[in-house]
Amino acid sequence: MGTVSIKDVARLAGVSIATVSRAVNEPDRVRSETRQRVQDAIRQTGYSPNSLARNFRRGRTQVIMVVLPSVGDPFFTDVMRGVRAVAAREGYSLLINETQFNTLTADEIGAMVVSRQADGIILLASLSPFGTRVLSAESQRALPMVIGCETIAPELSEIPGVHIDNVAAAREATAYLQDLGHRRIAFMYGEHETLLTADREAGYRQAMEAAGLPVNPDWIVEGQLSIEGAIAATSRLLDLPKRPTAIFCANDEMAMGCVHALKAAGLAVPRDISVVGFDDTRYARITDPPLTTVRQPTRLIGERVMERLLQEIDSERTAETGTETLPHELVIRGSAAPPTH
């Protein structure tokens, strides 16, 4: 039946991978009926018991924990396609922890490290859900971790990662608006005190400085990475005595909320105010007007972050160190145009 993984054994036996581990390594701790099902599954799949036992002696569970803010976010849906493709190819299962609705305590993740309930962690553009205590050098060696998309918190900056150059991407998006003739350009960021916000704001400021343009503090507003937050932030911009002629939003969801708020105020996009987003999520091309935005190679990010984690886990593979930077692309659509006033 082709390449058989530990996951296949667990599925056929109708038990968890941890139960298969106990049945192989500590059979006395498993009920005889369950142990028999595991043994039958190993025999039926043709998986070598010696290979299975060797994996568990090496502390392998064939499970990866993925931590992300929200499974419903279209950006992370696309990244997860890449993660899942490599995981399936390599015989790994995924344990999803959604930090928006569930946070692990330091004690819980510490127990996971000790008990080896997962072989490693992928952290996708999310704050650490388990604090900094378990991110010591010793803990990192015990449970490998790779960052995908962006490094959010300073305590994670030394961990290997895969992402685009956010500073360069934001600088390019801002420079594009300048090339159209805009001089009053606002920047809508996501959340305070994250490295992601700092990098994209840095790119915006670098482009403004390079063009010799002032940055009005009132033009930098927080949109909370959401449509609702962007609507409120856009309203604040429209209340200014000197409105911006363009708004660069640090993600597409905020850009869509911004467009909605502008239309609700009786303004046309891009005739009255131009809007540029970031990420190129699946909805960007069907907004009205279609959104000019920075495209991230989401599926490739997912594939590479999973492959990098496997390198960290498997000492037999050649491990890469540091951060891998993937190319971005500015996608020109209909939401930005030269200013009319």
Render each residue's pLDDT in the chain as its tens digit; 341 residues: 456 677 788 889 998 877 876 777 667 777 888 888 888 888 888 766 555 455 554 557 788 988 888 778 888 899 999 999 999 888 888 988 877 644 455 455 555 555 556 788 898 865 444 444 444 444 444 578 888 987 666 666 678 889 999 999 999 999 999 999 999 999 999 877 667 778 899 999 999 999 999 999 999 999 988 899 999 999 999 999 999 999 999 999 999 999 999 999 999 999 999 999 999 999 999 999 999 999 999 999 999 999 999 988 876 555 566 789 999 999 999 999 999 87
Nearest of 133, 75, 140, 137 to residue 108 by alpha carbon: 133
User: What is the distance between the alpha carbons of residues 202 and 216, in angstroms, rounded to a whole number?
Assistant: 14
Instruction: List the 246-249 sheet strands across, edge first.
Output: 220-222, 185-189, 246-249, 274-279, 292-295, 329-331
- Which pLDDT score is estimated for 18? 74
Q: Are 335 and 255 in contact (CB under 8 A)?
A: yes
User: What is the distance between the alpha carbons of residues 332 and 322, in angstroms, rounded to a whole number?
Assistant: 32
- Which pLDDT score is estimated for 317? 53
Six token digits for residue 339: 């200013």
Model-level pTM?
A: 0.76
- Which pLDDT score is estimated for 134? 45
- Which pLDDT score is estimated for 129? 46
- Which pLDDT score is estimated for 7? 77
Beta bridge partners of 123: 67, 147
- Which pLDDT score is estimated for 142? 54
Q: How far is CA 16 from the centre of its chain?
A: 27
